[in-house]
Structure 1
């Protein structure tokens, strides 16, 4: 949730953020009105409760002839308090609803929709071949590494098996990611992938994109689409010690997404699937350090992309393409030769205090006062990377060169040979 004090101080900034996202700026006025109504309801209820307590003390000291009138006043006041407390609860619920309707306030993100991103840099040149390249599925089938036909037979569309060198390649990539994260001070975590509604709601995943989430109604649990969710909720309702800098975790988990709005898109291969594995970075930090931490997470992602030797670009994602919790997001998109296009491999988001405010995650400032923490997340490797690795490192005979950084995790293997 956004900071209500900041909203009261500068509502126009929040309206500008809404316009940049293509969202309704009128929601800001709704929230302001709900905030004012709740504060008025609290004041009214407090005044009546104070009057009730004062009256209660006076009844005990009153003369017998005065007591009946005071008791009558007490009964009337009790009824008024009950009505005021009901109004206070109703106003609180209305405020919560209006508060949760507004996404995070952007910080530097370009305005516009999905196609309005800004390219920040290109790294490497698009791979050029002197033969007709194969796509990742043809390569994966030739290596006997990917089996989408049996994935569909067993589980349905957008499921797959990674087998043989395909499974080994994924494990190599994710192990390299975890080793990289540990080297940068992240604590490795294998989190639960089923979470309570509070965790999913707290991270902002039950808003406009809730149709992307798998839910188990009988248990009232959700399958996570990223380990960002359990890692964000890990310290819910706690006060962290950030005196030595950010608290960082690297979560290795399976992830699940319904891909509800992607009918007909990327149906071939493993680019857009319902289940995949990922190593996700997650940081808690002082909000004053959040922008710098965001650049660090991007740097760690670029370090991994350099290790797997694929050309890519970095984009500053436009406001209208941000999730509700992100104030700014950078994507790294790798070149996919057979599509002649860049496709997303990593995202890193600065969520400022939006998630931590919902989840009750705080830290103590230099004066010892509790303050709301900032949270950030970033992809360090995921199953989708196999697409870029296979296509960019393929050779004319259908074999695939193994990037040097992955070879130690593949028993020193330098080339994956067709079966």
Structure 2
């Protein structure tokens, strides 16, 4: 949730942010009104409760002649206090609802608009000229025994798969390579749970506009995460963490689950858009003033990993209307798929400023020892199935084999290519 001081001090900025996201700017006014109503209701309740305490003391000290009138007033006050308490509680509920409707305030420079209004920041690597008609990654993967889609659908339904043989080895190699890089930059490796409680899911902003993407286990009231960002954000919920030496960084591995609601008929082939996949996610806690620089660092680490995999890609600044509710800015790295003759998203990194940490109660102590709300950031280092799809597509060869990038070979026991033999 955003800092209510932003609504009180600069309502127009919040309105403009909502509008840039394609949301109703009036939600900012509604939040301001709900904030004022809640403060008024709370003030009235506290005033009446103080009067009630004074009346109680007055009854004790009153003479027999004064006592009946004072007791009658005390009785009236008890009713008024009860009503004021209920009004304050309802105002709190109304404020929470209005607060949830206002997404994180986008940072200066974020392009306005929707999915197609991104700004391209740079291109990295040369688009390969293959000299032959490239095949889709699903055809290559099936032919080389990287995955089995038919049996995945038989066992679990559409958009599921088995990684088989070299495919299973590829997953383990990519995860180990990603974890090794993250650890070299001071990230603490974590194997994160894939099931979380509602407060973790809500706190990270995945139960609002994204609720239809989430799998919910009603009998246990647990959610399957779509990214280990959720578990990593909840890792320090309700805590005061030490940021005196700089950002605290984690690299989380988990299985991820997404319903892919609204994507009917989209990317139905292969393993690019699936219901379950494994991922290595970078997650950072830092001071708010350090968040922008940390965001750029996360992007550079993503670019480094894609460079090691020898994948040509571009970096885009995602438009406000395509941001999640928690993100104030997001950069995507999109890899070139020769078979599709276009760039496809492979990684992303988001600066969530204090939005998630405020919901989850994550703080640090400033130089005066006073608790302050921390900032959180996240960045995908390796979404395994999409990365496998990109490797098959980008490194395919005329004879049907796939070349393994040099940096990945040590994690695959020295294998240089995948071939049918």
TM superposition score normalised by structure 1: 0.99
Counterpart Cα distance in 2 of 1:131 and 1:88? 70
* 1:387 lines up with 2:389 in the alignment: yes
Matched residue, 2:373: 372
CA shift for structure 1 position 7 = 1.3
Counterpart Cα distance in 1 of 2:127 and 2:301? 22
Secondary structure at the counterpart of residue 392 of structure 2: helix
Secondary structure at the counterpart of residue 5 of structure 1: helix
Mapping for residues 108-187 of structure 1, pairs under 5 Å? 108-187=109-188
CA shift for structure 1 position 54 = 1.0
Per-residue deviation, residues 379-400 of structure 1 (Å, max 9, x unmatched): 0001211111111111111111
Secondary structure at the counterpart of residue 111 of structure 2: coil
Counterpart Cα distance in 2 of 1:128 and 1:355? 44
Matched residue, 2:345: 344
CA shift for structure 1 position 255 = 0.3
TM superposition score normalised by structure 2: 0.99
Per-residue deviation, residues 245-275 of structure 1 (Å, max 9, x unmatched): 1111000111000001100000010110000
Matched residue, 1:400: 402
* 1:35 lines up with 2:28 in the alignment: no
Counterpart Cα distance in 2 of 1:154 and 1:50? 65
* 1:361 lines up with 2:362 in the alignment: yes
Secondary structure at the counterpart of residue 253 of structure 1: strand
Matched residue, 2:266: 265
Unaligned runs of 5+ in 2: none
* 1:57 lines up with 2:57 in the alignment: yes
Contact 2:7 2:31 in 1 (8 A): no
Counterpart Cα distance in 2 of 1:80 and 1:382? 57
CA shift for structure 1 position 2 = 0.5
Counterpart Cα distance in 1 of 2:131 and 2:30? 60
CA shift for structure 1 position 195 = 0.5
CA shift for structure 1 position 41 = 0.5
Counterpart Cα distance in 1 of 2:132 and 2:5? 61
Mapping for residues 11-50 of structure 1, pairs under 5 Å? 11-50=11-50
Counterpart Cα distance in 2 of 1:304 and 1:269? 23
Unaligned runs of 5+ in 1: none
CA shift for structure 1 position 109 = 1.3
Q: Which runs of at least 4 in structure 1 moved beyond 4 Å after TM superposition?
A: none
CA shift for structure 1 position 141 = 1.4
Mapping for residues 62-81 of structure 1, pairs under 5 Å? 62-81=62-81
Mapping for residues 209-224 of structure 1, pairs under 5 Å? 209-224=210-225
Secondary structure at the counterpart of residue 116 of structure 1: coil
Superposition RMSD on alpha carbons, in Å? Answer: 0.7
Contact 2:250 2:284 in 1 (8 A): yes
CA shift for structure 1 position 94 = 0.3
Is the deviation greater in 51-60 or in 223-232?
A: 51-60
Per-residue deviation, residues 69-102 of structure 1 (Å, max 9, x unmatched): 1111100011110011010001111001100111
Secondary structure at the counterpart of residue 2 of structure 2: coil
